[in-house]
Amino acid sequence: MGSNIIKLNREQMKTYIKYFNEIGINDIQRVGGKNASLGEMYQNLSNKGVAVPDGFALTSVAYWEFLDHNELRNQLDTLLSTLDTDNFSNLHEVGEKCRQLMLSGSFNKELEDKIKEGYDYLLGQYGEGVTFAARSSATAEDLPNASFAGQQETYLNVTGIDNLLKACHRCYASLFTDRAIKYRSDNGFEHSKVALSIGVQLMVRSDKACSGVMFTLDPDTGFEKVALIAGAWGLGENVVQGTVNTDEFLVYKPFLGKVKQAIISRELGTKEKTMIYSEKSINDIVKPEDAIINKDTPMSQQQSFILSDEEVIKLAEWAIIIEQHYKKHMDIEWAKDGTSGKLFIVQARPETVHSQKTEKVSFKEYTISEKGKLICEGIGLGNSIVTGRARLLESPSEMDKLYKGEILVTGRTDPDWDPVLKKAGAIITDQGGRTSHAAIVAREVGATAIVGTGNATKLIKDGQIITVSTAEGNTGFIYEGEASWEEKEIDLSQVEIPKTDVMLILGHPEQAFKYSSLPNSGIGLMRMEFIINNSIRVHPMALRHFEKILDKDVRLEIEELTHHYPDKQDYFIHRLAESIATIAAAFHPKDVIVRMSDFKSNEYANLLGGRDFEPKEENPMIGFRGASRYYHPLYREAFEMECKAIKLVREDMGFTNVKVMIPFVRNVAEAQKVISIMESQGLKRGQNGLELYMMVEIPSNALLAEEFAKYFDGFSIGSNDLTQLTLGADRDSELLSEVFTPFDPAVMQLIKMSIEKANALGVKIGLCGQAPSDYPEYAHFLVDCGINSISFNPDALLKGIENIVKAEKSYRG
């Protein structure tokens, strides 16, 4: 290697350090990816309001000079040549000797002076008393696109020039951590060609506030119109490693700066731990983790959001500025300074999963037919199902116990786990959120993952056969044994679209982004009761009149759910509004028709606090349900809360594509009463484009369609209830299953009558149900009648489209 020693002239010596205002993204070869990105943003985005802490970078030239000044190149080469690259049996021993060799060296005077010069510059910028971060950023001169993220060390909260010099020295040594050596060996990089740059930057005191990450798209589905912001109290390592369940905020990017409320979803995480700095001096720190303490988060902070709405919006605006500058989706780190209260961007890199996908538009459908007992659940990532043998590992050193394709079960992961994760068929962790290390790596390697289960390592046995399913929404499920399922990949670009509008039936917001890519004309039926049951869980009247609940356990459970809402009604209104807004955002600007709640009294009674407010009925199916509830004293206040949620979505959040549908309207007088209440809550038909729809599910709706059309802009046929009430046959009765059929002539006559009347009146009319996908002849019947739209559950959509296309070709030529 002696012949490769670089002889520095005075001009080159000037390149020992480069200030952030001197470097950009084209300087990766000299300062590494982290520093190049920070310089790029500091230079180009500071004048657009994006706050990036100033700093400087020790260049690769400085690193090579450090090696040459201490005559380390040949010694390092000799040591690394002894590495067992087959089994890495002596990895720790070789790594330890390399690090000691690096630490035995010293800076030459010119390099030390340059570091002091940069230190003085930053003190001049920010004043005495500030602290600094020394961040490693490896690079390869002839491999400018190589990524060494997470392989080297970072030293935080460094005070004084002497400690900064020590931190820089240790950063150089960290180029030879065990994981960094193995990473380069695994990826075919020559150790002698990889240099280390160090970024010295103002330390953002997030230990006194909060920090986290954000993506300029939804990282699970690739949906591009939202920014996801996640974080926790204290330093960001807890977020990245998945040690805590984070707060998460979804912002609808197209509406930023245009509406009162562009935040469409807030999820409060438990944030059990807060990472802060220890009081140790750098001389007492053997490893970077010695510099921090992970303490329990006080309950008051666990139950509070880390950011105000204004701060969330500011971060989202910065995310868009960064995305537009780089012209690609980005993965960004942010931090809040607890001393100044200011927000900063501390890193940005291209998003690596969805950005690299091909243009082919396809949809993979999974349907479980048989499954074992549920073991546990968590946050599901991806959309797939995997069966295999569970392998419980406590640390990456146990990697040899995991065979390729087995399911890794562990507490949490960090970059040391990367080689292990690539072998796993699926990944399960106790801790972590959607932006944790395990989640990010799982997406990158295409693995199925469930994170944040809380107790998977206690409930799953090593060697047990299990099934991991993330194909059932945002919640991932782990089942005993080997499940059976069907999977089908559909090339959506080849799907022929019919003239009849094809819409979706949806009730789960977490599925909205995924299903928005299917061919559709919007949402024909959004079931509000699904949201109330799954996301809210509390009877609205129990929130309106909490004092009337007698059961202490129920009161305690409601208190736990609503603790961060001073007014319990706001819990219902905001949770409902955010769920509706998420679906509206996924399909905007297409119509999203929201059906107001349609629980029966026995179903409402099952909600928390419901038994104190619901009557006991012999036949709830034809009892106190639908429009009759909305104006009745027993429920009117709750209906007004539903209206407030809709108004919030349409007016404050800007989703005027949301339409409102009223179910089970028995007569015209009920329609008048309900519409009057809606108007009193600021939901006036025609105002701000508001359209009202009515379900056609009672024979009176079809018979008096002309009268009902005076109050509604459209109808939607609910074929199950219409069949039930036309034939007098309980739709849930097995004994009457032969009687209950959508093909009954009386039912079909009422449907035909409804469609013909609506068309004559110029009122839109659709049908929601399974029959047009199950029975091609039923689709043919609806097309012949002149139906405007048909809505399907997602799993029936493509078959339904096929049936409609055939019917149209047959009927319309």
Query: What number of other Cβ atoms are within 10 A of residue 763's Cβ?
Result: 21
Question: Residues 550-581, buried b or exposed e (16+ Cβ, 10 A)?
Answer: eeeebbeebeebbbeeeebbbbbbbbbbbbbb
**Calpha distance 308→315 (Å, rounded):** 11
Dihedral sign of CA atoms 648, 651, 652, 655 in order: positive
Q: Which residue's entry shows tokens 């040594």? A: 173
Residues 419 and 397 sit within 8 Å (Cβ to Cβ): no
Dihedral sign of CA atoms 496, 501, 502, 503 in order: positive
Give ∠ CA 523-524-528 in degrees, rounded to 5. Answer: 80
Q: Which two tokens stand for residue 376?
A: 């546990």
Phi, psi of 72 (to 5 degrees): -100, -15
* Torsion of the alpha carbons at 185, 187, 188 and 194, rounded to the nearest 10: -80
DSSP state of 450: E
**Calpha distance 154→148 (Å, rounded):** 13
Q: Is 768 noted as a catalytic residue in this protein?
A: yes
DSSP state of 238: H
Q: Which two tokens stand for residue 27?
A: 């300087």
Q: What are the distances in angstroms from CA 638 to CA 317, 568, 644?
A: 36, 12, 10
**Calpha distance 515→586 (Å, rounded):** 8
DSSP state of 651: I
Strand order in the sheet with 17-19: 17-19, 55-58, 194-202, 132-140, 154-158
Cis check for the bond before 633: say yes or no (omega within 30 of 0).
no
**Calpha distance 577→584 (Å, rounded):** 10
Dihedral sign of CA atoms 289, 295, 300, 303 in order: positive
Give residue 467's identity as a one-letter amino acid code.
T
Helix/strand/coil for 493: helix
Query: What number of other Cβ atoms are within 10 A of residue 162's Cβ?
Result: 11
Q: Which of 342, 301, 340, 319 is nearest to 249 (CA)?
A: 319
Catalytic residue among 437, 508, 539, 588: 437
Q: For 254-310, give the DSSP string.
A: GGTTTSS--EEEEE-----EEEEE-S--GGG-SSGGGGEEEEEPPHHHHTS-SS-HH
Catalytic residue among 169, 768, 780, 785: 768
**Calpha distance 199→333 (Å, rounded):** 15
Q: Which two tokens stand for residue 428?
A: 């399960």
Under 8 Å CB-to-CB from 289, ≥6 apart: which residues?
A: none
Residues in a beta bridge with 392: 409
Phi-psi domain of 651 (left: phi exceeds 0; alpha: psi -120 through 50; beta: other): alpha
Cα Rg of the chain (Å, integer)? 31
Which residues are known catalytic residues? 437, 768
